[in-house]
Structure 1
């Protein structure tokens, strides 16, 4: 009975498209329909709902208050339907599909460049990556696993350690030379870049270096490591970042490591996955490959000279 209140999807799509363009004609062009067909679908939707969604003003259409409210409510539902459809279509041609939630910088800087090897080893496996910043309920979200930063605690899930987070101070060569940075204490007197999710990092680094300063919490604040590293590349300040996130910048010289001293964080990176999906071969394959890649990355870091 509840579904009886749901209008046909074609009518909802026509309404959303017309509202977005404020035009039946432009909506018709996008949907590859005639202007009359779009107008008719919207009219049928209005008749079904018993309210006017648009006011017709000369050659234009303008949302009514009811239409504006309805558009706000159904747009999210249409986006979810689109995402669900694309996701299920990804199963075509794959024996199994893995849906993984990733942290944005980890996914961009560390995971994405390595995925070609996983695909080479498991060519029949499909892989969908989506960004999630916070832990979620695996029962409510369609994910088989997630990259997690923090403590190895996730309700109803197994947490496999990948590697700890160890941050190093970096800046552009021009920034270093301009400010004459030669000792750890010099960093207390230059612009520093802060990461919102690691508010104590600079204070802990200064404490470890034996530098006393009241300015440890000062500096521009950023939400993600990828933003803070780009700001550092463009001379905005010194930054504390995980070395494996800036390997490319260090190798190219766009960033330089200011001092050999690093700061080991208590938190670490984990691959977490629901206990009830441990038997799926694609989950096991991805887990094993990810742990192997993380182990290799740790060994490379341990043998690499400071720089």
Structure 2
């Protein structure tokens, strides 16, 4: 990176803030500077670039075409810099930091409620947990491991199986009663909720029960199970969801399991990681803990906590 082509960060921040507000005065208030200081920083940036970023029209500033293009390009860079700074600051006070990529609903409904048990085992660990929906390259992403659903295949990584997934048909009690759902075949005629990443789920469930359902692929589509669950709670349709994602909703009565006819998926959840990462004690400890928690999930027993 050529130093001559990288303007000082304070001038970029002043420009982005002024462009967002279209006002040096409001930018100055946000940045806790004087209006003159913001104007001066923007002028220095324009002089450095040799390009006019704003047109000054009486008491207003208006982005030029060049300014609008530059704002678009630097905004992402500033956001990345902010995120990187916040992440490295999270290392303060932690002897070891674990960076994980998880599936959103799995992270919310299964992993997060159990993490306090891991922290009791490894109290000095720092955790950074991000969402990733698709496999990525561990060489280019700053993760020590990831939760993956599907086949045990991930380029450049080992996949330890955790547990398979049983999906069950659920709805709100109001929806069940309103549509008179009494037999599995009744679900072929009522509104159903679909998961965009698993478009065949309802067809597979109907096929397993030898139920003819020409409309198996129809229904409102969502990207995540948590969205489907909320939609089902509010009577939008019947849903096929993993049992362990809706245990609280079933216990509270907000959802009901329509039939005890789960569809066992051929794919499973896995913990994936590059082999070299297990040389880090925190990664090895997390792997051991996660596999034990998964065993408890499969067997219904309490997890055996080390130590």
CA distance in 2, matches of 1:146, 1:198: 20
The 3-state SS of whatever aligns with 1:259 is coil
Deviations 1:126-149 (A, max 9, x none): 000111111111111111111111
CA distance in 1, matches of 2:143, 2:92: 18
Q: Spell out the pairing of 1:49-68 with structure 2 (5 A cutoff).
A: 49-68=49-68
Q: CA deviation at 1:300?
A: 2.1
TM value normalised by structure 1: 0.96
Q: Which residue of 2 aligns with 1:214?
A: 214
Q: Which residue of 2 aligns with 1:204?
A: 204
Deviations 1:157-202 (A, max 9, x none): 1111111121000000010011110101000010000111111110
Deviations 1:254-281 (A, max 9, x none): 0000000100111111111112211100
Q: CA RMSD in A?
A: 1.1
Q: Which residue of 2 aligns with 1:185?
A: 185
Q: Which residue of 2 aligns with 1:147?
A: 147
The 3-state SS of whatever aligns with 1:217 is coil
CA distance in 2, matches of 1:99, 1:293: 19
Deviates more, 1:39-48 or 1:205-214: 205-214
Matched, 1:23 2:23: yes
The 3-state SS of whatever aligns with 1:278 is helix
Q: Spell out the pairing of 1:233-272 with structure 2 (5 A cutoff).
A: 233-272=233-272
CA distance in 1, matches of 2:96, 2:209: 50
Deviates more, 1:54-63 or 1:42-51: 54-63
CA distance in 1, matches of 2:267, 2:65: 49
Matched, 1:9 2:6: no
Q: CA deviation at 1:58?
A: 2.1
Deviates more, 1:231-240 or 1:269-278: 269-278
The 3-state SS of whatever aligns with 2:300 is helix
Q: CA deviation at 1:203?
A: 0.5
Q: Which residue of 2 aligns with 1:38?
A: 38
Q: Which residue of 2 aligns with 1:304?
A: none
The 3-state SS of whatever aligns with 1:140 is coil
Q: Which residue of 1 aligns with 2:304?
A: none
Q: Which residue of 2 aligns with 1:195?
A: 195
Deviates more, 1:208-217 or 1:91-100: 208-217
Q: CA deviation at 1:99?
A: 0.6
CA distance in 2, matches of 1:132, 1:58: 48
Q: Which residue of 1 aligns with 2:168?
A: 168
Q: Which residue of 2 aligns with 1:305?
A: none
Deviates more, 1:239-248 or 1:268-277: 268-277
CA distance in 1, matches of 2:139, 2:30: 37
The 3-state SS of whatever aligns with 1:167 is strand
CA distance in 2, matches of 1:60, 1:274: 54
Q: Spell out the pairing of 1:76-155 with structure 2 (5 A cutoff).
A: 76-155=76-155
Moved over 6 A (4+): none
Q: Which residue of 1 aligns with 2:231?
A: 231
CA distance in 1, matches of 2:20, 2:227: 31
Q: Which residue of 1 aligns with 2:305?
A: none
CA distance in 1, matches of 2:63, 2:74: 14
CA distance in 2, matches of 1:266, 1:28: 58
Deviations 1:9-54 (A, max 9, x none): 1111111111111111111111111111111000000000000111
Unaligned runs of 5+ in 1: 302-307
TM value normalised by structure 2: 0.96
Q: CA deviation at 1:3?
A: 2.5
